[in-house]
């Protein structure tokens, strides 16, 4: 069985380009092509939820010209891929501090999110201006205010209350987390949601990540025993 929810840290665009003697934007452009083929392949694998770490909250600290180019590339990609997203019955979603994104990005995002909201196929979530610690902090702050104003009772407080205040409130927890480029860290991505996720790291840079690489990760996932704190005999 394929993982219900797969999340990917798409890493290595810049290094891939630098190895080829090309500017970093060349890597990001080819990273977009990788997104297209992996979304199509994930759909074929019947993955119900695919979440892509597209732009982290820390990425705002990159050189301004690179950030500006990434935002323009995002807008153009959304325009170019809108028809394919809709025709493949994919529902687009976005999480993160979306208010910090340029107006043009939000306009394109909101247009596709609204147009695809009734699609019944895979939910494709873009994590934009996203940080896991910031997401949890925001949730705790909102919950604290509600407890203070007697809108939430501590007597009925459990992890579902936290879930309901996260960006991902409408998504299931992650089953499989993939990171490309050889780095083996989480980088502030979906910290709450990956509590029991299987982690898969590959040396392949994101622009080279192929349909075969995704299939390999899924097969690895299928061969693992997910115990959720139990023993093998209890499963």
| pLDDT digit string, tens, across residues 4-42 | 999 999 999 999 999 999 999 999 999 999 999 999 999
- Residue 168: inside a domain, yes or no? yes
> How far is Cα 51 from Cα 184, in angstroms, rounded to an integer?
18
Which one is catalytic: 11, 13, 93, 213? 11
Domain that holds residue 211: 5-224
CATH of the domain at 215: 3.40.1180.10
Residue 11 bears catalytic tag: yes
In a domain, 40, yes or no: yes
Q: pTM of the full predicted structure?
A: 0.94
Residue 214: name the closest of 35, 80, 59 by CA.
35
Domain-located, residue 122: yes
Q: How many domains does the chain have?
A: 1
Which one of the listed residues 43, 59, 106, 163 is annotated catalytic?
59
- List pLDDT tens digits, range 142-200: 999 999 999 999 888 999 999 999 999 999 999 999 999 999 999 999 999 999 999 99
Is residue 122 helix, strand or coil?
coil
**Residue 230 domain-assigned?**
no
pLDDT band at 1 (very low <50, low <70, confident <90, very high): confident
Tell me whether residue 59 is one of the annotated catalytic residues: yes
Question: Is the C-alpha dihedral spanning 57, 58, 59, 64 positive or negative?
Answer: positive
């Amino acid at each position: 069985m394929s993982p219900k929810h797969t999340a990917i840290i798409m890493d290595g665009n810049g290094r891939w380009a630098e190895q080829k003697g090309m500017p970093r934007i060349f890597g990001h452009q080819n990273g977009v092509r990788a997104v297209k083929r992996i979304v199509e392949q994930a759909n074929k694998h019947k993955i119900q939820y695919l979440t892509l770490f597209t732009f982290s909250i820390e990425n705002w600290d990159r050189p301004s010209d690179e950030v500006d180019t990434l935002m323009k590339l995002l807008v153009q990609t959304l325009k170019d891929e809108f028809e394919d997203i809709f025709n493949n019955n994919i529902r687009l979603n976005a999480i993160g501090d979306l208010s910090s994104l340029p107006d043009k990005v939000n306009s394109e995002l909101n247009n596709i999110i609204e147009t695809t909201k009734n699609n019944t196929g895979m939910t494709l979530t873009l994590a934009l201006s996203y940080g896991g610690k910031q997401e949890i902090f925001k949730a705790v702050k909102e919950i604290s205010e509600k407890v203070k104003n007697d809108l939430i009772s501590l007597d009925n407080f459990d992890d579902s209350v936290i879930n309901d205040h996260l960006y991902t409130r409408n998504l299931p927890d992650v089953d499989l987390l993939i990171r490309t480029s050889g780095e083996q860290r989480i980088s502030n991505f979906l910290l709450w949601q990956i509590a029991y996720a299987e982690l898969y790291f590959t040396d392949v840079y994101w622009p080279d990540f192929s349909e075969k690489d995704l299939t390999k990760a899924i097969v690895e996932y299928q061969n693992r025993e997910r115990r959720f704190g139990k023993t093998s005999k209890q499963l």
